Amino acid sequence: MKAYTDMTQDELRALHSDLKAQYKDWQDKGLDLNMARGKPGKDQLDLSMGLLDVVTSQDDMVLEDGTDLRNYGVLDGLPAAKDLMAGMMNVKSDQVIIYGNSSLNVMYDQIARSMTHGVNGSKPWAKLDTVKWLCPSPGYDRHFGITEWFGIEMITIPMTPEGPDMDMVEKLVAEDEAIKGMWCVPMYSNPQGVVYSDETVRRIAALNPKAGDFRVYWDNAYCIHHLYDEHPTLLNILDECEKAGHPDMAMMFASTSKVVFPGAGISALATSKTNKDFILRQLTNQTIGYDKINQYRHVKFFKNVDGLKAHMKKHADIIRPKFEAVEHILEEELGGLEIGTWLNPRGGYFIHFDTLPGCAKRTVELAKDAGVVMTGAGATFPYHNDPQDTSIRIAPTLPSADEMAQAARLFALCVKLAACEKLIA
Amino acid sequence: MKAYTDMTQDELRALHSDLKAQYKDWQDKGLDLNMARGKPGKDQLDLSMGLLDVVTSQDDMVLEDGTDLRNYGVLDGLPAAKDLMAGMMNVKSDQVIIYGNSSLNVMYDQIARSMTHGVNGSKPWAKLDTVKWLCPSPGYDRHFGITEWFGIEMITIPMTPEGPDMDMVEKLVAEDEAIKGMWCVPMYSNPQGVVYSDETVRRIAALNPKAGDFRVYWDNAYCIHHLYDEHPTLLNILDECEKAGHPDMAMMFASTSKVVFPGAGISALATSKTNKDFILRQLTNQTIGYDKINQYRHVKFFKNVDGLKAHMKKHADIIRPKFEAVEHILEEELGGLEIGTWLNPRGGYFIHFDTLPGCAKRTVELAKDAGVVMTGAGATFPYHNDPQDTSIRIAPTLPSADEMAQAARLFALCVKLAACEKLIA
């Protein structure tokens, strides 16, 4: 394959009409596929049907400690549910609070509370002129949605293959008291699939922020979502923060949304005792308690963290071929052309693709006009502003393997077409 | 029976030693009963076991409109769940948002959002020097807990048998722009069981608050929780507000916590389109969606509002005898003594008792020391400050009928003893 950048303008023009003809053929196929969101496919959902009838009998209703699952009580989660989620997150049970169905909602609540009540006694952020937040990017659009909603000024931090650019992070938090937090998806980051290196985790734990109420929001969304048996490991941020003398600096989040059913799972937060005590003061006013029956469904269905991990292997067996199909097609279609780069993740829900500068929006537009919806280009950056316009998130899990292959083939064509358009003077 | 107030000091002293002896006998029984919280009893919980296995089959997972209950999507609730909750609340389906398991959490969120984002474009309350709230009292302790948590200054409004003292409410909201809201439990108010009269509802709807972002928080917690077939009715506050030219002034809340299982039900908010649109702007940042499987459990279990109402009759059959037992014992023990007054509610979860001024705390203390825990005296007032120290909330649902009768008998004795102590010079 000849790299596009090595082609003459005449070669590019000839290529362009050829690609346009191919694109026209694809349009005529009338595809209607969605690679936009990280939704599990139907076959994945089928894996957890047993969750729905595992707790239906009278015998299950009253636990040994006398708790009736069906009545009020138990603010911070059933002990057995804490054990399960602690195992999943690799933390201690007494660091855990079990919440409702959405970890996003838990993160939202942490920021909402900090706005009105500060952090463990600090000044409420709503009383400050400016609150800023570090946003390693590309990142999770819904994280950025929360900080934007609260009027928090988002600072884009470039991602490296080891995690966020720590030189920049260290410098910024040490200088600017308005910086109150940082989004992290440390394991199989959304969307790149980057796993933070041990050094990155230790440097985060060792941060010396000017703001005493600076918090690392550690969204461990994909902590057990490995695609391969042999998988990378992630240092425990709570332990590292404690060792570094900042025991309260991190809050870890996770949920079973992509373990069982999105919307019908349970979520959890893990953090230090000091943070937990402060959070519970809010929680006691916010709700009487979360859904204990659903907590117990999880406990009974999985039994323990080994059950959870065995279940995740079944997910991996379903989605790994989809990831590999996309990766294979990208290599086949785009290898050597020097018009895009991508990572082959070892877990998580996304494949991230970088086009030539200035080509991401156009590529996504072309795909859409041929019937394949992708996440909006730029969505993975604060304010939807991808400064280089290169970032595209591919979500391979929802379509079938055949559909996925078709969509990936079309996507590669759109990458070529957009690059060609760009390079023609 | 001779009224205590007509007794001589000698008579009171003799009575006192007699009551003390009786009290000692009760203490020796070693009771251990809880009349503190409005929790359903086990037999009530058993009524809804069918909810747990009504949605377990593959056939139920995908709705006619293509929605897979197990996947992401549907932010504001399944249409069929909206219909069900609209029927329960007597509102229109398009006024409804379905939330998670806790209506208290929904109310909390409304205030939290108003603090950081104002109401439909008004200045965020967190930026104001003072925010005040009207609290008809006695009222629901957890309402007052929310406003207190947000540092909102609570103003106690006396309750009448028709609802809040509307002369006072009208005057205050017209004068003071800092007053931003009002708690209401309009149907079988917690704890008195008062149903707001039509005139009260119309006067609330016709309020002319100085604050444009004043909102009535209409907690319709007991809208279908009738104890008797023949039951009072409540005007629809949303309709009345619209008629009065204030279509956005009220937000109605309800849940199925005391219909199915506390903690495992669904909750709902009903309000105007303008309010809903603003709320949805928050919601879209706060969560990806609530538990649709649990919503569908409700739809399939109850089918429609008639199913819901038939189910509530079964609850009434279980708890009505408990209410009546308490009422009967109070009448038998205290009738004519002029040391307390109470209302016999037609629905809801509580019986409210007023002691002589200055006797509520002591009565609750005496009950506790003989093994019967009641809601802390004063808990039903803002800042736990019952100015007259008369208000006691009795929650008759959790104990068995026999236990309830015992507890009520002891309670009556404690009322007598406290009154006697008070009247002895």
Q: Does residue A263 sit in helix, strand or coil?
A: coil
Same domain, A190 and A236: yes
A80 pLDDT higher than 90: yes
The average confidence (pLDDT) of chain B is 97
% of residues, chain A, pLDDT over 90: 97
Containing H/E element for B86?
Answer: helix B79-89
Domain assignment present for residue A51? The answer is: no
Quickly state the pLDDT bin for B109 (edges 50, 70, 90).
Answer: very high
B206 pLDDT higher than 90: yes
Is B93 in contact with B79 (CB distance < 8 Å)? yes
| B166 Rama class: left (phi>0) / alpha (psi -120 to 50) / beta | alpha
* Res A103: pLDDT: 97
Domain of A189: which CATH number? 3.40.640.10
Measured between CA atoms, how close is A393 to chain B, in angstroms? Answer: 18
Rounded to an integer, the average pLDDT of A377-406 is: 94
* Res B252: pLDDT: 98
Q: In a mutagenesis test of the A interface, which of B42, B43, B140, B287 is the best target, namely the one with the most A β-carbons within 10 Å?
A: B287
% of residues, chain A, pLDDT over 70: 100
* CB–CB contacts below 8 A, A to B: 162
Burial of A137 from C-beta contacts in 10 A (0-12 / 13-18 / 19+): buried
Contacts of B290 in chain A (CB under 8 A): 101-102, 263
Contacts of B112 in chain A (CB under 8 A): 112, 116
All residues at 6 or more sequence positions from A297 whose CB lies less than 8 Å from its CB, including other chains: A51, A52, A54, A55
Q: Which residue among B267, B285, B303 closes a domain?
A: B303
Task: State both tokens at B197.
Answer: 């009269």
Q: Does residue B202 sit in helix, strand or coil?
A: helix
The torsion of the CA quartet B190, B196, B201, B202, rounded to 10 degrees, works out to -160
DSSP secondary structure code for residue B76 in this structure: S
A35 pLDDT higher than 90: no
Same domain, A113 and A197: yes
* Res B174: pLDDT: 98
The closest CB to that of A287, out of B48, B105, B294, belongs to B105
Judge: A104–B71 Cβ closer than 8 Å, yes or no.
no
Instruction: Report pLDDT digits (tens) over A357-391.
Output: 999 999 999 999 999 999 888 999 999 999 999 99
Task: State both tokens at B415.
Answer: 């009322």
The closest CB to that of B71, out of A39, A58, A126, belongs to A39
Instruction: Report pLDDT digits (tens) over B40-65.
Output: 999 999 999 999 999 999 999 999 99
CA atoms of A50 and A260, how far apart (whole Å): 10
Domain assignment present for residue B55? The answer is: no
Burial of A96 from C-beta contacts in 10 A (0-12 / 13-18 / 19+): buried
* Res B377: pLDDT: 87
Same domain, B139 and B216: yes
Q: In a mutagenesis test of the B interface, which of A103, A116, A253, A349 is the best target, namely the one with the most B β-carbons within 10 Å?
A: A116
- The reply to whether B124 touches chain A by the CB within 8 Å rule is yes
Domain assignment present for residue B239? The answer is: yes
Domain assignment present for residue B54? The answer is: no
Quickly state the pLDDT bin for A40 (edges 50, 70, 90).
Answer: very high
All residues at 6 or more sequence positions from B395 whose CB lies less than 8 Å from its CB, including other chains: B35, B36, B37, B38, B39, B349, B350, B374, B375
Same domain, A157 and A83: yes
- The reply to whether B10 touches chain A by the CB within 8 Å rule is no
Is A71 in contact with B261 (CB distance < 8 Å)? yes
Same domain, A286 and A337: no
Judge: B112–A108 Cβ closer than 8 Å, yes or no.
no
Same domain, A279 and A404: no
Q: In a mutagenesis test of the B interface, which of A72, A99, A147, A296 is the best target, namely the one with the most B β-carbons within 10 Å?
A: A72
Contacts of B145 in chain A (CB under 8 A): 284-285
B72 pLDDT higher than 80: yes
The closest CB to that of A291, out of B45, B53, B263, belongs to B263
All residues at 6 or more sequence positions from B30 whose CB lies less than 8 Å from its CB, including other chains: B371
* Res B37: pLDDT: 83
* Res A37: pLDDT: 84
Judge: A71–B294 Cβ closer than 8 Å, yes or no.
no
Measured between CA atoms, how close is B285 to chain A, in angstroms? Answer: 6
Judge: B292–A263 Cβ closer than 8 Å, yes or no.
yes
Judge: A52–B56 Cβ closer than 8 Å, yes or no.
yes
* Res A285: pLDDT: 97
Q: Which residue among B276, B303, B330 closes a domain?
A: B303
* Res A377: pLDDT: 87
Please report the residues numbered 45 through 64 in chain B whose beta carbons come closer than 8 angstroms to any beta carbon of chain A.
45-46, 48-49, 52-53, 55-56, 58, 61
Q: What are the DSSP calls for A56-80, one per residue?
A: -SGGGTB-TTS-BTTSS--SS--HH
Judge: B116–A150 Cβ closer than 8 Å, yes or no.
yes
CB atoms within 10 A of CB A364: 25
Instruction: Report pLDDT digits (tens) over B286-311.
Output: 999 999 999 999 999 999 999 999 99
Same domain, B240 and B320: no
Domain assignment present for residue B349? The answer is: yes
Q: Does ipTM top 0.95?
A: yes
Domain assignment present for residue A53? The answer is: no
Give the chain A residue nearest B48 (alpha carbons).
A70
All residues at 6 or more sequence positions from B335 whose CB lies less than 8 Å from its CB, including other chains: B1
Rounded to an integer, the average pLDDT of A302-324 is: 97
Report H helices in B176-254.
198-205, 237-243
Angle between helix axes B103-117 and B273-286 (nearest 10 degrees) is: 90
Please report the residues numbered 90 through 109 in chain B whose beta carbons come closer than 8 angstroms to any beta carbon of chain A.
100-102, 104-105, 108
- The reply to whether B150 touches chain A by the CB within 8 Å rule is yes
Tallying the residues shown for chain B, one arrives at 425
Is A102 in contact with B105 (CB distance < 8 Å)? no
- Would strands B153-160 and B163-164 be described as parallel, antiparallel, or unpaired? antiparallel
Strand partners, B252: B218, B270
Judge: B264–A70 Cβ closer than 8 Å, yes or no.
yes
Contacts of A287 in chain B (CB under 8 A): 102, 104-105, 108
* Res B36: pLDDT: 86
Quickly state the pLDDT bin for B192 (edges 50, 70, 90).
Answer: very high
Same domain, B364 and B294: no
Same domain, A336 and A226: no
Same domain, B299 and B315: no
Please report the residues numbered 163 through 182 in chain A whose beta carbons come closer than 8 angstroms to any beta carbon of chain B.
none
* Res B425: pLDDT: 82
Judge: A72–B263 Cβ closer than 8 Å, yes or no.
yes
Judge: A286–B105 Cβ closer than 8 Å, yes or no.
yes
| Residue in A396, A346, A115 with CA at minimum distance from that of residue A234 | A346
Measured between CA atoms, how close is B418 to chain A, in angstroms? Answer: 31
Same domain, A74 and A212: yes
Judge: A291–B289 Cβ closer than 8 Å, yes or no.
no
Domain assignment present for residue B205? The answer is: yes
Rounded to an integer, the average pLDDT of A124-140 is: 97
CA A242, A244, A248, A253 torsion-angle sign? negative
Instruction: Report pLDDT digits (tens) over B110-134.
Output: 999 999 999 999 999 999 999 999 9
- The reply to whether B142 touches chain A by the CB within 8 Å rule is yes
Q: Which residue among B303, B331, B365 closes a domain?
A: B303
Judge: A264–B293 Cβ closer than 8 Å, yes or no.
yes
Please report the residues numbered 249 through 278 in chain A whose beta carbons come closer than 8 angstroms to any beta carbon of chain B.
257, 261-264
Domain assignment present for residue B180? The answer is: yes
A183 pLDDT higher than 90: yes
Judge: A49–B68 Cβ closer than 8 Å, yes or no.
no
B401 pLDDT higher than 90: no
The torsion of the CA quartet A399, A405, A409, A414, rounded to 10 degrees, works out to 10
Rounded to an integer, the average pLDDT of A124-138 is: 97
Contacts of A290 in chain B (CB under 8 A): 101-102, 263
Judge: A286–B58 Cβ closer than 8 Å, yes or no.
no
Containing H/E element for A146?
Answer: helix A141-149
CA atoms of B381 and B361, how far apart (whole Å): 13
C-alpha separations of A80 from A57, A84, A94, A281, A296 in Å:
18, 6, 11, 22, 8
Same domain, B225 and B352: no
Judge: B262–A70 Cβ closer than 8 Å, yes or no.
yes
The closest CB to that of A262, out of B42, B71, B142, belongs to B71
Q: How many domains does chain B have?
A: 2
b/e sequence B358-394, b meaning 16+ C-beta within 10 Å: ebbbbbbebbeebbbbbbbbbbbbbeeebeebbbbbb
- The reply to whether A300 touches chain B by the CB within 8 Å rule is no
* Domain, as residue range, for A376: 4-44+309-423
CB atoms within 10 A of CB B286: 23
Judge: A52–B55 Cβ closer than 8 Å, yes or no.
yes
Quickly state the pLDDT bin for A310 (edges 50, 70, 90).
Answer: very high
Contacts of A149 in chain B (CB under 8 A): 282, 285
Instruction: Report pLDDT digits (tens) over A233-278.
Output: 999 999 999 999 999 999 999 999 999 999 999 999 999 999 999 9
A1 pLDDT higher than 80: no
Rounded to an integer, the average pLDDT of A140-168 is: 98
Domain of B25: which CATH number? 3.90.1150.10
Q: What are the DSSP calls for B323-383, one per residue?
A: HHHHHHHHHHHHTTT-SEEE---SBSS-EEEEESTT-HHHHHHHHHHTTEEEPPTTTTSGG
